[in-house]
Amino acid sequence: MVGQRQRQEYRLHELGDFLRTRRARLMPEAVGLPRGSRRKTPGLRRAEVAQMVGVSVDWYTWLEQGRPITPSTQVLERLVQTLRLDVNERTHLFLLAQQQPPPAQFLEPEIVSPALQHFLDQFGARPAFVSGRRWDILAWNDAGCALFGDYSQMTAPRERNTIWNIFTDPQARQFVVDWEEDARHLLAQFRSMYGRYPADAQLTELIHDLMLASPEFRAWWPDHEVQSGQEGRKALNHPQVGLLVFERLTFQVFDTPDLKVTVYTPLEEADTPRKLEQLLDQWHQHHGRQPHIPQAADNHPQAQRPEQDTVGLWLAQCGQRVEDAWVANSEVMTSYTNWCAAHGYTPKKAKGLSQALAAHGLEVGVRQWVYTGPGMRTKTRGVRGLRVHD
């Protein structure tokens, strides 16, 4: 009981600290309030937050003081709006206040960044693709098209949906070795993912249509089998080259956990690497394209396209999103320009870099104290939520 009470006190203390820091960073003019000449502390006052949320000043003060009160979901949502919290901060607030994640919000569009597409292209002869929350294929590389078909030409509804194809396409039963075992595994993984979006109308419609279209789906769905991860051996019976054997690995995108990257690494069994190269060569010849050859960046500088997202590529290799982390602008600029020089890119100037970082969802221009020597410190600007490494 003592340990439980201590954990409760710690959680409420963390909640109070979190609210104070979010309140302190929000300037009055950002919410339509006058700054005034007598304001001694940065950010909003408690009374101002309480008024906008619709609670008493005493009640909000108790919340920041870590008193044992449990705010309702409606009050927390008004706090999210008032304090301008982002998605991660909203989740953190609900976990501290109610010890459970917040209700599902409107699902954001699924967008594959240029950096992620570049990442797929670096796999060369290994088929790779990105799928979304409903298991639609959103992006791919050339090897993925050579193995599974030209995704860019698949325009019919659900033609690029993995779970729909595995259960409704007759050719899938011939293409996938041990179809039933593979289909059951995929269904269990799909079921695990579905639990995160129970209110998604399109997912509900997809499941309804699968129940009508596939006897196997209709029989297995009520079993409620769940499984995480998509990795292990994958055998395919390709109509042109015969048996192919891969090691399949799927992982989430850190910045956008709704997106998953799946990579098929050819194994030596059944002469798979040679057969896959043959399929890829045929695909390039048919489409009149040159193969994409990943190069060692230090030795083979790349020609920069005008639309190249160099900041996104640098973030993918040298940046790590860490909540509440902070890095000075000087460190960001040094790392970015060094990376561009090593990869043969022309770096953006400081203003362009800041704009690009903001477009990638980072908070720029955040002032913070830094130490310049023993007992000496100064305030400088930086980026919040980012950690930089070489």
CATH number, domain containing residue 348: 1.10.10
- Give pTM, 2 decimals: 0.54
**In Å, how far from its chain's centre is CA 191?**
20
Structural domains counted in the chain: 3
- Contact call for residues 245 and 270 (beta carbons, < 8 A): yes
Indicate whether 167 and 262 sit together in one domain: yes
At residue 160, does pLDDT exceed 80? yes
Indicate whether 222 and 320 sit together in one domain: no
322 vs 196, more confident: 322
Span of 93-97, 180-184, 226-230 with lowest mean pLDDT:
226-230
**What's the token pair of residue 323?**
């909540």
pLDDT score recorded for residue 224:
81
pLDDT score recorded for residue 270:
95
Indicate whether 282 and 196 sit together in one domain: yes
Indicate whether 94 and 120 sit together in one domain: no
Tell me the pLDDT band of 307, cut-offs 50, 70 and 90: very low
Asked if the structure places residue 73 within a domain, the reply is yes
**What's the token pair of residue 371?**
């130490």
What is the CATH number for 78?
1.10.260.40
106 vs 298, more confident: 106
> Taking the CB of residue 160, how many other CB atoms lie within 10 A of it?
22
What pLDDT, in 10s, does the model give residues 209-221? Answer: 999 999 999 999 9
The range of the structural domain enclosing residue 369 comes to: 310-388
Indicate whether 272 and 138 sit together in one domain: yes
Asked if the structure places residue 66 within a domain, the reply is yes
Interval 372-385 mean pLDDT: 72
At residue 311, does pLDDT exceed 90? no
The sign one gets for the Cα dihedral 236, 242, 247, 252 is: negative
Average predicted confidence (pLDDT) for the chain = 84
Indicate whether 119 and 59 sit together in one domain: no
What pLDDT, in 10s, does the model give residues 279-297? Answer: 999 999 988 766 655 544 3
Indicate whether 244 and 323 sit together in one domain: no
